[in-house]
Amino acid sequence: MSENNVDNGANAPKARNFVYELVEKDVMEGKNGKRVHTRFPPEPNGYLHIGHAKAIIVDFGTAEKFGGKCNLRFDDTNPVKEDVEYVDSIQEDIRWLGFDWEDRLYYASDFFEQLYEFAVRLIKQGKAYIDDQPAELISQQRGTPTRPGTESPYRSRSIEENLDLFARMRKGEFPNGARVLRAKVDMASPNMHMRDPLMYRILHQAHHRTGNEWCIYPMYDYAHGQCDYFEGITHSLCTLEFEVHRPLYEWFVEQLSESDYRPRQIEFSRLNLTYTMMSKRNLLSLVQENLVSGWDDPRMPTLSGMRRRGYTPTGIRSFVEKMGVTKTKGMVDLAMLEHAVREDLNKKASRVMGVIDPLKVVITNYPEGQVEMVSAVNNHEDESAGRRDVPFTRELYIEREDFMEDAPKKFFRLAPGVEVRLKYAYYATCTDVIKNDQGEIVELHCTYDPATKGGNSPDGRKVKGTLHWVSATESLEVEVRLYDRLFNVEDPSSEKDRDFREMLNPDSLEIRSKCYIEPSVKNAKPLDAFQFERLGYFNVDKDSSGEKMVFNRTASLRDNWGKKMG
């Protein structure tokens, strides 16, 4: 049986990764000395989210696949948007996903001097010039996608003058916006990006790493490809919206490369997930307006949020692999991510008994004050996880929804006169239902069968239901937080003209402050994962303090008793 499973797993068609296909071809053709070297180039202007996880897995995963390397490079060419605050969280999140850039941590700003020298070289070759015109004029002259641009009057400026002006730009002689350096490409190109793109702008602004050393900063199109070149990158993997930039990327590399070595840009589609907001701007608003507790709120699609929620690196990586890497834009069902996470957690999470909506049960024929240990399985998927002891007492809590006074035929759990199994303990039968003045059920009385210890009856009689339970006197009172999707529309990112606040799911967080859990978890560490029997996957919150533990629900279990009853 297990052999078949292994075979099926190995032969199961994997989702396509067309980046692998292209890289493999390059290696086989012997390009760049058969090297494979990629990079993950985040701009340090926000927290990483699940969309970045795909990029990280593609970048580092491609290197891993071909025995190459992957650098981490902070694309910090715009000091007005960037901050050190994000540099640390980004590194933490990449490491958490299980990737290592070793000693290859770079900043685009590391290359500012080289970038400047290359720019000078381009000017000397007559391929770049200083334009004195204001932004609006340059923009006008650029034309439109359907109408060619017109050349700047400064385009034919002499090399000497360009050199002089560029040096003075660097010295800080001009105010912001006074001049720019542009590449001399082709103002009539059908590709807007080739119409003499800007290479440098003046920005009198302190940079988070270079301080006030520079007042001119390179633009993305110029800097990115050259940094790839300096770092020896062979495959520059990015998302689809950079497709039209590729000719320019290649143009710059062509001007500057002095050997056969050429980095190559390959674009793949970015991740879109149902019910998930990926817009950095809106995520920032959620945080700033306190609509969530922070970037690591367990409902956030950020990696820090998912980590806190209990999603695992393995689950996330498996999700990306199931999804594949292609150029087709689509919308992946959130259920696929949840499945990948559950699949991983099912193997790893310790089983534990907890009650999140307690209803008291008194076992009337069980001795008062007696505490008896029953043996429970830690992980049904992993024998080596062993067993633990759980205290059983006269007063217990069960899940309120596990009892129905007028039970329909397919309700397998507790009802008056019905016998069920208290998991790992005894068979018990409900004898009395105690109500308050309002007619609400406040307590149940049951009797137990001492002969069924461990959960099996010597006479072989069967019960239909098995309930999880917890001792009312020997358990820990904890807080449990239940999460649901943050947005209630399928594609919140696409509804651009709608305020994202209107799309928030009002029931995305439910706090249950009086929950009970078996005492075995009291030494659990933050982020430890558990599967509460019959309830779902939970983890210990990262900020859970000693006095009262806090649990987050990572995911519910697939539970369809409601359907079966109907």
Partner RNA sequence: UGACCCAUGGUGUAAUUGGCAACACGUCUGGUUUUGGUCCAGAAGAGUUUAGGUUCGAGCCCUAAUGGGUCAACCA
Q: Does the annotation mark 321 as catalytic?
A: no
Binding status of residue 217 toward RNA by CB under 7 A: yes
Binding status of residue 190 toward RNA by CB under 7 A: yes
Binding status of residue 7 toward RNA by CB under 7 A: no
**Position among 83, 241, 383, 543 found at the interface with RNA (CB under 7 A):** 241
Q: What is the 3-state secondary structure (H, E, C) of 502-558?
A: HHECCCCEEEEEEEEECHHHHHCCCCCEEEECCCEEEEECCCCCCCCCEEEEEEECC
Cβ of residue 221: shortest distance to RNA, in angstroms? 7
Cβ of residue 164: shortest distance to RNA, in angstroms? 18
Binding status of residue 191 toward RNA by CB under 7 A: yes
The token pair that represents 11 in the structure block: 């032969």
Residues 331-350 within binding reach of RNA (CB under 7 A): 331-333, 335-336, 338-339, 342-343, 346
E strand or H helix that includes residue 372: strand 372-377
Binding status of residue 48 toward RNA by CB under 7 A: no
Q: Are the beta carbons of 189 and 146 closer than 8 angstroms?
A: no
Binding status of residue 559 toward RNA by CB under 7 A: yes
Residues 64-103 within binding reach of RNA (CB under 7 A): 75, 77-78, 80-81
Q: For residues 117 and 243, which CB has a smaller minimum distance to RNA in the complex?
A: 243
Binding status of residue 168 toward RNA by CB under 7 A: no
Q: For residues 12 and 28, which CB has a smaller minimum distance to RNA in the complex?
A: 12
The token pair that represents 436 in the structure block: 């308050």
User: Alpha-carbon distance 130 to 201, whole Å?
Assistant: 10
Cβ of residue 32: shortest distance to RNA, in angstroms? 22
Q: What would the DSSP string read from start to end of 377-434?
A: ES-TT-GGG-EEEEEE-SEEEEEGGGB-SS--TT--SB-BT-EEEETTS-EEEEEEEE
Binding status of residue 255 toward RNA by CB under 7 A: no
Binding status of residue 438 toward RNA by CB under 7 A: no
The token pair that represents 44 in the structure block: 């340090």
The token pair that represents 553 in the structure block: 């629900």
User: Out of 24, 43, 321, 479, which one is annotated catalytic?
Assistant: 43
Binding status of residue 32 toward RNA by CB under 7 A: no
E strand or H helix that includes residue 86: helix 84-96
Q: For residues 152 and 552, which CB has a smaller minimum distance to RNA in the complex?
A: 152
Q: For residues 297 and 402, which CB has a smaller minimum distance to RNA in the complex?
A: 402
Binding status of residue 351 toward RNA by CB under 7 A: yes
The tally of CA atoms less than 13 A away on the side-chain side of residue 481 is 22
Residues 522-551 within binding reach of RNA (CB under 7 A): 531, 533-534
Q: Does the annotation mark 464 as catalytic?
A: no
Q: Hey, what amino acid is at 108?
A: A
Of the listed pieces 97-105, 192-200, 522-530, 538-546, which binds RNA according to CB under 7 A?
192-200
Cβ of residue 398: shortest distance to RNA, in angstroms? 12
User: Out of 280, 453, 485, 512, which one is annotated catalytic?
Assistant: 280
User: Out of 170, 270, 360, 453, which one is annotated catalytic?
Assistant: 270
Residues 463-482 within binding reach of RNA (CB under 7 A): 465-466, 468
Residues 374-403 within binding reach of RNA (CB under 7 A): 377, 380-381
What residue has token string 């927290």?
47
**Position among 219, 390, 396, 478 found at the interface with RNA (CB under 7 A):** 219
Who contacts 85 (Cβ-Cβ below 8 Å, separation ≥6)? Answer: none
Q: For residues 15 and 371, which CB has a smaller minimum distance to RNA in the complex?
A: 15
Who contacts 304 (Cβ-Cβ below 8 Å, separation ≥6)? Answer: 47, 48, 89, 92, 93, 295, 296
Cβ of residue 360: shortest distance to RNA, in angstroms? 20
Q: Are the beta carbons of 129 and 155 closer than 8 angstroms?
A: yes
Cβ of residue 129: shortest distance to RNA, in angstroms? 13
Q: Hey, what amino acid is at 69?
A: K
Q: Does the annotation mark 280 as catalytic?
A: yes
Q: Are the beta carbons of 17 and 237 closer than 8 angstroms?
A: no
Taking each continuous run of H as one helix and of E as one strand, the counts in the chain are 14, 25
Binding status of residue 138 toward RNA by CB under 7 A: yes
Residues acting as catalytic residues: 43, 270, 280
